Structure 1
Amino acid sequence: MKKKKQGAPSVIRIKKAGWIYIALCIFMGVGAVNTANNLVYIIVALMLGFMAVSGFFGVADMNRLRVEVGLPDEIYAGRVCPVSVRLVNERRFLPAFLIRVHIQDREIFFPFTDTGGQSVKFAEIIFPARGRHILSGMYVSTVFPFNFFTRYKDLTDSADVVVFPSLLPCISTYSGSKSGGQGENATDRKGFESELMSIRSYTAGDSMRMIHWKATARTGSLKVKEMMSLGAEPVIIEPEKLNGGTEQRLSCAAWLISSLMDKGAPVGLKTKEKFFPPDVTPAHRLEMLRELALYD
């Protein structure tokens, strides 16, 4: 397991404007003591009160915030991974202002989130290696309300991420099946080519390329196309029989699974410990890629 971030750098940092304001308060305070001028005392008191208000609302601005991270079903090593970041404000009376969410050296800015509301932004993250990662060490920061201080707060939220091997195009004995050159026949099995077979509701794991936008606009809910695929013989991929080192073989196997299943071919996987019979469903595809990601 790999931890990507250690958390907030500190509890509070004084910004340049804050140092100037603190120096000004000290200067005015010394002047008030030396001159015994009541007006200067009042000004110093107002300035200190102004700073106290800044501290109170700055701390309150980060209370009762929750961050939810949404990850796609397929995450490949070395590829950009689009991530949705949802900031939930659970407070009943105070909106959230100028909140920055920090995830893996990425900073997502939320200028305003209403009381009891939520805001969604998107970021891009790259995982360098396959395997299981823990997306932890997330934190929030804010300069609200006067930009004198930057306050930080660690989040307890974390996400368990399984990163698939990078997709490495390769030449193998399975390449002939990819093109379906050995006796293609039209079947009523759903795939990604040929003629439209039906339109159905979107389910998790469906390719965004298959969304039927006209039906979606007409019904108000996501609809996807099911295409009549070209018949292809089932393929069983064995990473141990591919060329190259371990990582190269796993990347080649992942590419073969993706490319063959995108063409509608039933694909299976055989490793030293497990066997997955050929299938064409999105869930089966994810199971095989997950097995490759956690391969020892």
Structure 2
Amino acid sequence: MKLTTGGGLYVASTLLLGVSAVNTGNNLLFLIVAAMLAFMATTGVLGWLNIRGLTLNVHLPDEVYAGTDTFLSITLHNAKKFLPSFLIRVAVLGETTSFLLVERKRPQSGALLLSFPVRGPLQLAEASISSPFPVNFFIRATSLPIHQDCTVFPAPRPLQVPAPGGKPDAGEAAATASAGYDGELAKISDYRGGEPLKLIHWRLSAKHEVFKVKELTATAAEPLLLELDSIPGRDVEQRLSFCTFLVNRLIKGGRPVGLKLGERVIPPGSTRSHRLRLLTELGNHGKN
């Protein structure tokens, strides 16, 4: 429990009146102090009940990149008590979202924009919920388990894209992370964390609990094996970032890509699950 400025003044006033009542023996002061203590106790019980019985579901997208803003979907449930909850704040890793009203058996959804500074395994163990209800004198808080695990992929950095013949394509030298999405609209799918913001279908997203993105078609090409040690870069982290960009750029462009990490070789593939596998290997490289 945390005292607000108003709460601190209220407690100080109560103590001051209590001391005055004892020193003067004034019955009216005793009644005022008793009323103030009763009010404090009542609001305390209501505030405690307000954050009890809540459960939280957190969903991380399939693609989380180091240093890149990622939407974290949050669903708050109130299924264990008859009373609604008011003015609920949910905090994960220092970022906060608010829910004005969480009615019984009517889940409320929200989102947080998080950024993870380094690549590698990530575990979100708990979230903090708090509320100033019913009066902004005390902020009561508790923790809820969420148990979300994922791998943060290396931050992609643009690099020349190898052409089907094995040499860099001069026309691809200035490619950015948004390249490879230049085909026709294939379908609408859920946001997974790696898509450029320009592909988010904002109008359709407003009608659903999760963000919607446009998926575009692309053409296929011959397989390519990326060898991490052969990727240019000043250090391992920069090579991993370049390799992450190439994996996304090439596979999303329809070209099968494999990966060689030291003595380990992953054969080329072009499916989305294969791309996520390669990104996971890059994210966990050297972390185990």
TM interval, short-chain normalised: 0.7 to 0.9
Q: Provide Cα deviations, 1:146-201, integer angstroms capped at 9, x if missing partner.
A: 111112212222311210011011236568768598xxxxxxxxx955567xx668
Aligned to 1:265: 255
Provide the TM-score with structure 1 as the length reference: 0.77
Aligned to 1:125: 114
Compute the displacement of 1:270 (Å). 2.2
Q: Could you tell me whether the CA contact under 8 Å between 2:58 and 2:148 is conserved in 1?
A: yes
SS at match of 1:230: coil
Identical residues among aligned pairs (%): 35
SS at match of 2:145: coil
Distance 1:108 1:21, change over 3 A: same
Aligned to 2:246: 256
SS at match of 1:122: strand
Structure 1 portions without partners, runs of 5+:
1-11, 182-190
Greater Cα shift, 69-78 or 267-276: 267-276
d(CA) in 1 for partners of 2:7, 2:189: 52
1:58-97 aligned within 5 A:
58-97=47-86
d(CA) in 2 for partners of 1:194, 1:31: 79
Match of 2:129 among 134, 140, 154: 140
Q: Provide Cα deviations, 1:19-63, integer angstroms capped at 9, x if missing partner.
A: 221222233334444555544433322221111111101111111
Are 1:26 and 2:15 matched, yes or no? yes
Amino acid at match of 2:245: W
SS at match of 2:10: helix
Compute the displacement of 1:90 (Å). 2.5
Structure 2 portions without partners, runs of 5+:
172-179
Aligned to 1:54: 43
Are 1:284 and 2:274 matched, yes or no? yes
Are 1:104 and 2:93 matched, yes or no? yes
SS at match of 1:277: strand
Match of 2:223 among 234, 249, 253: 234
d(CA) in 2 for partners of 1:28, 1:269: 74
Q: Give the length in aligned residue pairs.
A: 266
Amino acid at match of 1:263: G
Distance 1:172 1:180, change over 3 A: closer
d(CA) in 2 for partners of 1:80, 1:67: 22
d(CA) in 2 for partners of 1:207, 1:27: 59
Provide the TM-score with structure 2 as the length reference: 0.79
Aligned to 2:140: 151
Aligned to 2:236: 246
Compute the displacement of 1:203 (Å). 7.5
